[in-house]
């Protein structure tokens, strides 16, 4: 597996001796840029542990200065947590906050919130920092920042999009937050030896110029002819609709693409966005006689020849063909093809087809 930005950031943190205020701000800007450009997270906010009137509080860090207007005590006068960030800090629990009923704007949500990460049930209201902000908010992720069991603050990632929680997302954001704990410790340490970190930061900056892994569920594209055998398409879609695979993959079937505009351009963009592909070549022309659909051959060629965004390997895909098919028009590895076998009356041998398809799908996901 390639190193993510979170992996690289941690390697950087472990390689330096001191982080001054300028470099600390630069690191925060790199994190913000990565979250916006790669993860689709529009706002990253760092809240550091502080005090107000001798009471524990969180103070938002403002790239070089602490804004006193954005200080909030951990608890209210009656002992309740003051905000979602305070709850994450006080409980030492990461939160993945969405509306309890659908994908509502958290700032105007009347149905309450759900925590998809730690499963906390009693959640305070969402509070802004006092600024007028009309932008909608549908996902708020809050992760405590610790270093050697010392609570340093929380990191808050927010976006107007509704983002489903995934293991990849939790892992990556946890790495970033864990590394911030190391960097804050270095930033605050008076005894740290001053050394040059410019070269290491430049390497981190260069990493952002290359494609990085997405944290959303990978997409799988299903290509077929308009007149593809319904039993094969149904068997493929039924397997992909099983919970084992819906948790890991988002299916894009070309027949379900109904947006206005140029369909050919939409197909090209859809294929480019997919990590995996399934290409059912065969199109029936007579009883027990099939040809390869030219459009599917073209789409298969895109998968076969395309270099993946993450690794310099061809994008992974599964070719499906009927047994009664002509020779392939170009060189696909024969052993990778899922052959469709039928009974004498022409009906699909569903069980062996489905079992083989599941095995190939599992291998596809496991190897990528």
pLDDT in tens, 109-141: 777 889 999 999 888 888 765 444 567 899 999
Last residue of a domain, one of 207, 232, 250: 207
Within 8 A by CB and 6+ apart from 152, the residues are: 48, 49, 145, 146, 180, 181, 184, 185
Per the domain annotation, does 27 fall within a domain? yes
Number of domains, the chain: 2
Per the domain annotation, does 213 fall within a domain? no
Do 131 and 52 sit in the same domain of this protein?
Answer: yes
Q: Categorize the per-residue pLDDT at 65 as very low, low, confident or very high, splitting at 50, 70 and 90.
A: very low
Domain range for 138 is 5-207
Do 186 and 119 sit in the same domain of this protein?
Answer: yes
190 pLDDT more than 50: no
- Considering Cα of 280, then 284, then 289, then 291, what sign does the dihedral take? negative
194 pLDDT more than 50: no
Do 167 and 295 sit in the same domain of this protein?
Answer: no
Q: How high is the pLDDT of residue 184? A: 87
CATH code: domain of residue 85: 3.30.450.40
Q: What is the pLDDT of residues 200-234, one digit of tens each?
A: 677 777 766 655 556 678 889 999 999 999 999 99
Do 225 and 201 sit in the same domain of this protein?
Answer: no
Q: Which regions of 15-54 does DSSP assign to beta strands (E)?
A: 43-52
357 pLDDT more than 90: yes
User: Do residues 96 and 84 touch, judged by C-beta distance below 8 A?
Assistant: no
Do 146 and 249 sit in the same domain of this protein?
Answer: no
What angle do helix axes 350-366 and 230-240 make, rounded to 10 degrees?
Answer: 50
Within 8 A by CB and 6+ apart from 300, the residues are: 223, 277, 279, 281, 317, 319, 332
Q: What is the pLDDT of residues 22-38, one digit of tens each?
A: 888 899 999 999 998 88
Q: Categorize the per-residue pLDDT at 195 as very low, low, confident or very high, splitting at 50, 70 and 90.
A: very low
Do 231 and 287 sit in the same domain of this protein?
Answer: yes
Do 277 and 191 sit in the same domain of this protein?
Answer: no
What is the rounded distance in angstroms from the CA atom of residue 206 to the CA atom of residue 221?
A: 31
- How many Cα atoms within 13 Å fall on the side-chain side of residue 318? 19
226-235, 293-302, 314-323 — which is least confidently predicted?
314-323
Per the domain annotation, does 214 fall within a domain? no
Per the domain annotation, does 245 fall within a domain? yes
Q: Is 122 left (phi over 0), alpha (psi -120 to 50) or beta?
A: beta
Q: What is the pLDDT of residues 275-290, one digit of tens each?
A: 899 999 999 887 778 9
Do 227 and 124 sit in the same domain of this protein?
Answer: no
Of the candidates 53, 55, 92, 59, the one whose C-alpha atom is nearest the C-alpha of residue 75 is 55
What is the rounded distance in angstroms from the CA atom of residue 271 to the CA atom of residue 222?
A: 9
Last residue of a domain, one of 179, 207, 235: 207
Q: Categorize the per-residue pLDDT at 77 as very low, low, confident or very high, splitting at 50, 70 and 90.
A: confident
Compute the mean pLDDT over every residue in the chain, rounded to the nearest whole number: 83
Do 197 and 281 sit in the same domain of this protein?
Answer: no
Q: DSSP code of 35?
A: I
Do 105 and 60 sit in the same domain of this protein?
Answer: yes
Other CB atoms within 10 A of residue 362 CB: 12
Do 325 and 201 sit in the same domain of this protein?
Answer: no
CATH code: domain of residue 254: 3.40.50
Last residue of a domain, one of 157, 177, 207: 207
Per the domain annotation, does 81 fall within a domain? yes
Per the domain annotation, does 127 fall within a domain? yes
Q: How high is the pLDDT of residue 199? A: 62
* Percent above pLDDT 70 for the chain: 85
306 pLDDT more than 80: no
Per the domain annotation, does 361 fall within a domain? yes
Do 122 and 23 sit in the same domain of this protein?
Answer: yes
| β-strand partners of 147 | 150
Per the domain annotation, does 360 fall within a domain? yes
3 state SS of 52 = strand
């Amino acid at each position: 597996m390639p190193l993510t930005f979170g992996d690289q950031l941690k390697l950087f943190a472990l390689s330096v001796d001191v982080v001054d205020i300028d470099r600390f701000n630069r690191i925060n800007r790199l994190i913000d840029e990565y979250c916006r450009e790669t993860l689709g997270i529009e706002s990253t906010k760092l809240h550091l542990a502080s005090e107000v009137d001798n009471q524990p509080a969180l103070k938002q860090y403002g790239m070089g200065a602490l804004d006193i207007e954005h200080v909030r005590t951990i608890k209210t006068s009656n002992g309740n947590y003051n905000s979602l960030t305070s709850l994450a800090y006080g409980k030492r629990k990461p939160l993945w906050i969405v509306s309890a009923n659908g994908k509502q704007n958290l700032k105007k949500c009347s149905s309450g919130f759900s925590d998809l990460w730690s499963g906390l049930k009693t959640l305070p209201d969402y509070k802004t920092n006092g600024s007028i902000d009309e932008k909608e908010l549908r996902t708020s992720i809050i992760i405590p920042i610790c270093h050697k069991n010392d609570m340093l603050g929380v990191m808050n990632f927010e976006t107007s999009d509704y983002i489903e929680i995934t293991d990849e997302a939790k892992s990556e954001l946890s790495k970033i937050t864990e590394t911030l704990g190391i960097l804050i410790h270095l930033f605050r340490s008076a005894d740290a030896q001053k050394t040059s970190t410019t070269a290491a930061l430049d390497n981190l900056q260069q990493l952002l110029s290359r494609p990085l892994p997405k944290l959303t569920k990978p997409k799988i594209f299903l290509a077929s002819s308009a007149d593809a055998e319904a039993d094969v398409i149904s068997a493929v879609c039924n397997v992909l609709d099983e919970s084992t695979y819906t948790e890991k993959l988002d299916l894009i079937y070309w027949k379900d693409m109904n947006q206005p505009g140029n369909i050919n351009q939409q197909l090209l963009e859809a294929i480019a966005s997919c990590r995996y592909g399934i290409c059912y070549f065969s199109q029936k022309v007579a009883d027990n006689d099939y040809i390869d659909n030219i459009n599917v051959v073209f789409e298969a060629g895109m998968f076969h020849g395309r270099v993946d965004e993450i690794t310099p390997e061809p994008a992974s895909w599964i070719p499906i063909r009927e047994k009664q098919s002509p020779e392939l028009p170009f060189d696909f590895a024969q052993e990778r093809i899922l052959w469709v076998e039928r009974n004498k009356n022409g009906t699909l041998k569903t069980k062996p087809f489905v079992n083989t398809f599941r095995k190939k799908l599992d291998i596809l996901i496991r190897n990528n």
